Structure 1
Amino acid sequence: MRVVFWGTPDFAVRSLKELLNSKHKVVAVVTQPDKPKGRGKKLTPPPVKVVAEEAGIPVFQPEKVKNNEQLYTALKELNPDIFVVVAYGKILPPKIINLPRYKTVNVHASLLPEYRGAAPIHRAIMDGKSKTGVCIMEITEELDAGDIYDCREIPISETDDIVSLHDKLAEEGAKLLIDVLNRIEQGKAEKTPQKHEEATYAKPIKKEEGKIDWNRPAVDIFNQVRALKVWPKAFTIFRDQQIKILDAQVVDTDSIGKAGEIVEVKKGKGFVVQTGKGKLLIKQVQFPNSKPITADEAVRGYHITVGETLQ
């Protein structure tokens, strides 16, 4: 099939590469405009654009999609069989969705109808879920509400964080995408309507969600740390400055101090903080204007002691 691929971040790259290695032909890629990044604010292309240009695929980077007749005409001239959307970043209007012969499909990183919306991977980890998955669905006007072609379930282990789970879902989603496209082409694809009454929403992550409340249970803070490891990173106030907690581990459910108090220093491992329920071993931290270091290095370098508090 002739495919136009819509995607922007790293999550979409795996699906694009899988498509490029399949029997289907990617005739164009639509992605977000280049954006300034880093201290120098240098214009940086989206990861999907980099892969597309390396493969010699034409790239469109419209500022807007809705009411963009120039884009619509250019896409129509490509005579596409199907549009594939993977984390593109904007909602497509019906005129675009319905343009191709087989319309438009989406790779979504949750077991729909659970976690519709922008941050399904983060929310699944933060909510302490033991499993998630990826679904290929048909795009409709309502957000992530289209009929489902197929889903794959993926367990969430205690060692998973946003990085590892992101990669697992991207890989599984890419494989499932090709399988579904093959079935659509062969006329063997079946769709199942979502149970809309069971829908939940994964709203975008906000920076303030990184603030740790030590009155919460240790397991909840652990989930917060691993879900927000890339951005905005879980943070707390220590010695009147904000530090980031990058890795942690629930150690037990006992209470021997007040919430936020450092109750033990473990040589070679880090320091233990009392929470509202249970204790958390802090394993990796980042101080302002510094690189990430192990909590053991922090204990030795900053002379962290029992009785100090995190707020």
Structure 2
Amino acid sequence: MRLAFMGTPDFAVAALDALHAAGHEIVCVYTQPPRPANRGKSLTPTPVHSRAEQLGIEVRHPLKLRGQQAELAAFRALDLDVAVVAAYGLILPQEVLDAPKYGCLNIHASLLPRWRGAAPIHRAIEAGDAETGITIMQMDAGLDTGAMLLKRATPIGAKETTGQLHDRLAAMGAEMIVEALDKLPALTPEPQPEEGVTYASKIDKAEAKLDFTQPAAVLERKVRALNPFPGAYAELNGERIKVLAAEVVPAKAGAEPGTVIDERITIATADGALRPLVLQRAGKQALEAEALLRGFSIPSGARFG
């Protein structure tokens, strides 16, 4: 098929590669503009931009599409069979949705209608969902409200992080979008059910601080949900220490939430205790708890804020 690909982060690269390998004619890639990154704050292209250039595909990166008549005319002139969208980051105006012969198909990393929105992988882990998956959706003007074309579930591992699940879902989405295009136009769109709708709000760095007045099981899920970004953390004597992996263990009765209750940095919570397994001090490498304690004292009775 003759298509445009619209995506920005690493999640979308697998789908771009799969469509290219399947022999589809990708006439243009749309992505977010290069932005300052790294210590030098030099303008850095998105992962999709870099990969498209490696594949020899034209790249466009408009700041916005809505109301941009020249951009909309250029998109219509591509004469597309379909546009494939994966974590693009721009709202598509109706003129874009209507331009391709078969419309715009979105690779969404959840089992819609659960977790519409910006951070479905993080929120599924944080909520303790037993499974998640990929939905290939026919896009409409709403926020992830379009009819479903393909849907496939996968269990969430008991210790799985957002980074690990992200990579699995990216591969799954890549496989499924190729399957969807192979079956177009025979696929029958299925409207999303009205019940079970949840929204995955964008991750805010302010929510990364661990609150030990919450149950240990909730905190352990948050640690996994925010790994690798932005990383859950706790504060000890004014120092911010990231917690990259942890486990739930029994707590001593009456221990004040936030208090270290043994020599293994086990921290009391509202219900049970959280034992950090991998930690990272500011500006230093991540270490297993045992290795961290060889050069950094966190005695029993210390208090995390």
Moved more, 36-45 or 235-244: 235-244
Q: Give the secondary-structure state (helix, strand or coil) at the position aligned to 1:26.
A: strand
1:195 Cα offset (Å): 1.0
Runs of 4+ in structure 1 off by over 3 angstroms are 252-256
1:211 Cα offset (Å): 1.1
Partner of 1:58: 58
Assess if the C-alpha contact under 8 Å between 2:76 and 2:96 holds in 1: no
Q: Give the secondary-structure state (helix, strand or coil) at the position aligned to 1:76.
A: helix
How far apart in 2 are the matches of 1:288 and 1:256?
31
Q: Does 1:215 align with 2:209?
A: no
Q: Give the secondary-structure state (helix, strand or coil) at the position aligned to 1:173.
A: helix
Q: Give the secondary-structure state (helix, strand or coil) at the position aligned to 1:177.
A: helix
How far apart in 2 are the matches of 1:254 and 1:101?
64
Aligned residues: 305
How far apart in 2 are the matches of 1:196 and 1:181?
27
Residues 112/57 of structure 1: CA separation in 2 closer, same or farther (3 Å cut): same
The correspondence of residues 167-182 of structure 1 with structure 2, limited to 5 A, is 167-182=167-182
Partner of 2:69: 69
**What do residues 159-181 of structure 1 show as CA deviations (whole Å, max 9, x unaligned)?**
21011000111111111111111
Assess if the C-alpha contact under 8 Å between 2:252 and 2:261 holds in 1: no
Partner of 1:48: 48
Root mean square deviation of aligned Cα? 1.2
Please, which runs of 5 or more residues in structure 2 have no aligned partner?
none
- What's the TM-score once normalised by structure 2's chain length? 0.97
1:196 Cα offset (Å): 2.5
Partner of 2:229: 231
Assess if the C-alpha contact under 8 Å between 1:145 and 1:196 holds in 2: no
Assess if the C-alpha contact under 8 Å between 1:255 and 1:279 holds in 2: no
How far apart in 2 are the matches of 1:274 and 1:253?
6
Equivalent in 261, 264, 278 of residue 263 of structure 1: 261
Partner of 1:291: 285
The correspondence of residues 164-203 of structure 1 with structure 2, limited to 5 A, is 164-184=164-184, 187-203=185-201
1:28 Cα offset (Å): 0.7
Equivalent in 288, 300, 304 of residue 306 of structure 1: 300
The correspondence of residues 73-152 of structure 1 with structure 2, limited to 5 A, is 73-152=73-152
- What's the TM-score once normalised by structure 1's chain length? 0.95
1:84 Cα offset (Å): 0.5
Partner of 2:245: 247
Please, which runs of 5 or more residues in structure 1 have no aligned partner?
none
**What do residues 148-203 of structure 1 show as CA deviations (whole Å, max 9, x unaligned)?**
0011101001121011000111111111111111111xx32111000134311111
How far apart in 1 are the matches of 2:100 and 2:47?
25
Assess if the C-alpha contact under 8 Å between 1:255 and 1:277 holds in 2: no
1:253 Cα offset (Å): 6.0
How far apart in 2 are the matches of 1:239 and 1:198?
43
